[in-house]
Amino acid sequence: MDRSTARYMVMILGILLSLFFSTTFAQSSCANYNFASNKVFSSCSDLPYLDSYLHWTYNPSSQSLQIAFRKTGMSSSRWAAWAINPISQGMVGSQALVAFQKSDGTVRAYTSPITSYQTGLQEGDLSFPVSDLSATYSNNEIIIFATLKLQINSSSTLNQVWQEGPLSNDNPGMHTTSGPNVQSMGTLNLLSGESKATSGASNSKTKYKNVHGVLNAVGWGILMPLGAIIARYMKVFPSADPAWFYLHITCQSSAYILGVAGFGTGLHLGSQSPGVTYTVHRGIAIALFSLGLLQLSALLMRPKKDHKWRTYWNFYHYSFGYGILILGIINIFKGLDILSPEKKWKHAYIGILVSLACLAVILEVITWCIVLRRKKSANANKLSHGLNGTNGVNGVNGYGA
């Protein structure tokens, strides 16, 4: 029965991990995005910088371009813009669509021709007609909608620029002049959907973010709780000793290694985004890194079961362990709020947490049933030995005391 239960545990956990990875890597950053307004676009592109995405529908015969520019990870104190540069690559000469949330809660969207690097994004007419211009802001994401009437060359390729920056009294301020803010430009083929950054860079930052999220979710959010489940419930089976201990150590060590790798990619992303700081998310990540290191260090100081300090070591180990579990899960949801991926990502992770919780509840019931049955059996054996002994009554009373 013990081995059978252990096999079922491994099978269930394997299914959960398979579900996570299949859901995670099947997602696309823009292709599966559903607009609240039920608008549908024929093409989309994950822009390589500034957490931005472009959706569009292009009609070659009329040269009409319907677009939706999405900028995620936005706060209400920042502006976002997407532009076409009809004359060259770069900022000067760009014909921009600008949007931001005003201090009264309304969202303003307007056009602004860029004539110099010192622009204040003043409102003005563009070199081509623009209609149906609007914008929305919710869940730290701003979306600009518009229809453009263009005069594009036969290759259907245009120069695009996208940007974000701070607000001051409902007026756009100067954006950062280093890092992704000066790399957020490139070409876009409206027919093939091919998007290239001017620098020739690929979507490396988006990939780093995906890697960062997956490493932390698997490490802190799945393997760490799984290791705790193994330690609590597998050791109730005598045949699982000491296998449960080595599984627990392997699981927790792997979780920490993945978590540290995720921590490293987070530091790299931070170095690529000057001026962008997520204080709470970063603080929890540092705490997890430190607590995890202390937990691994505690393994070297683990006293024997009969040692007088073992009780204190257990308290230390359990306290830090449960603290890591709670902080890890909290920080994963913080990261999801920052990245603002499709809802399916968050739903998949919530489903995994619920599955692990249900597994823990089932194993908790099984564990208590086994413990109570063993206690009842032990009591019966002691009672039997006491009654069969020379002083049966004293034996019973002695056990009861």
Task: Give residue 194's pLDDT.
Answer: 62
Question: What are the sequence ranges of the domains in the chain?
Answer: 2-27+204-377, 48-197
48-197 is a CATH 3.40.190.290 domain: no
Nearest to 361 by CA among 214, 231, 267, 229: 229
C-alpha distances (whole Å) from 223 to each of 8, 248, 318, 399 are 17, 10, 16, 42
Give the Cα-Cα-Cα angle 12, 15, 20 (nearest 5 degrees).
Answer: 130
Residue indicated by tokens 């790399």: 183
CA-wise closest residue to 114 among 104, 124, 106: 124
The pLDDT of residue 206 is 63
Residue 348: closest CA among 10, 30, 17: 17
For residue 175, say whether it is annotated as part of any ligand binding site: no
- N- to C-terminal Cα distance for the chain? 34
Amino acid at 58: Y
Which CB contacts under 8 angstroms, 24+ apart, belong to 131-136? 132/66, 133/97, 133/109, 134/109, 135/99, 135/107, 135/108, 135/109, 136/36, 136/37, 136/107
CA of residue 207 relative to chain centroid, distance:
13
Is 212 marked within a binding site?
yes
206 contacts: CB under 8 Å, gap ≥ 6: 29, 46, 48
Cα Rg of the chain, angstroms: 29
The residue type at 376: K
- Look at residue 342 in the predicted model and tell me its pLDDT: 67
pLDDT for the residue 20? 44
CB 72 within 8 A of CB 57: no
Question: How many of the other CB atoms lie within 10 Å of CB of 54?
Answer: 22
Does 268 belong to an annotated binding site? Answer: no
pTM above 0.85, yes or no: no
Could you tell me if 159 and 185 are in contact, meaning their C-beta atoms sit under 8 angstroms apart? yes
CATH fold of 2-27+204-377: Four Helix Bundle (Hemerythrin (Met), subunit A) (1.20.120)
Secondary structure in 3-state letters for the chain: CHHHHHHHHHHHHHHHHHHHHHHHHCCCCCCCCCCCCCCCCCEEEECCCCCEEEEEEEECCCCEEEEEEEEECCCCCEEEEEEEECCCCCCCCCEEEEEEECCCCCEEEEEEECCCCCCCCCCCCCCCCEEEEEEEEECCEEEEEEEEECCCCCCCEEEEEEEEEEEECCEECCCCCCHHHHCCEEEEECCCCCEEECCCCCCHHHHHHHHHHHHHHHHHHHHHHHHHHHHHHHHHCHHHCCHHHHHHHHHHHHHHHHHHHHHHHHHHHHHCCCCCCCHHHHHHHHHHHHHHHHHHHHHHCCCCCCCCCHHHHHHHHHHHHHHHHHHHHHHHHHHHHHHCCCHHHHHHHHHHHHHHHHHHHHHHHHHHHHHHHHHHHHHHHHHHHHHHCCCHHHHHHHHHC
Is 248 marked as binding a ligand? yes
Domains 2-27+204-377 and 48-197 share a fold: no
| pLDDT of the residue at 86 | 83
Position 24 scores a pLDDT of 41
pLDDT digit of tens for each residue in the chain (401 aa)?
Answer: 344 444 544 454 445 444 444 444 334 467 778 888 778 888 888 888 888 899 988 888 888 889 999 999 888 889 999 988 888 777 788 888 999 999 898 999 999 888 877 777 888 888 889 999 999 998 889 999 999 988 776 567 888 889 888 888 888 888 876 667 777 888 888 877 666 655 444 445 667 778 888 899 999 999 999 988 988 888 777 777 788 888 888 888 899 999 888 888 888 777 766 556 678 888 999 999 999 888 888 777 888 877 888 888 888 888 888 899 999 999 999 888 877 666 778 888 999 999 999 988 998 888 888 888 888 887 777 777 665 655 544 443 433 33
pLDDT at position 144: 94
Per-residue confidence (pLDDT) for residue 397, from 0 to 100: 41
Tokens for 138, please give them.
């919710």
What tokens does 77 get? 């104190």
b/e sequence 130-150, b meaning 16+ C-beta within 10 Å? eeebebbbeebbbbbbbebeb
369 exposure class (CB count in 10 Å sphere: 0-12, 13-18, 19+): exposed
Query: What is the predicted pLDDT for the residue at 143?
Result: 93
Q: Please, which residues bridge with residue 109 across strands?
A: 99
Show the CA angle centred on residue 43, arms to residues 42 and 46, nearest 5°.
Answer: 155
Kindly report the length of the chain. 401
pLDDT on residue 399: 34
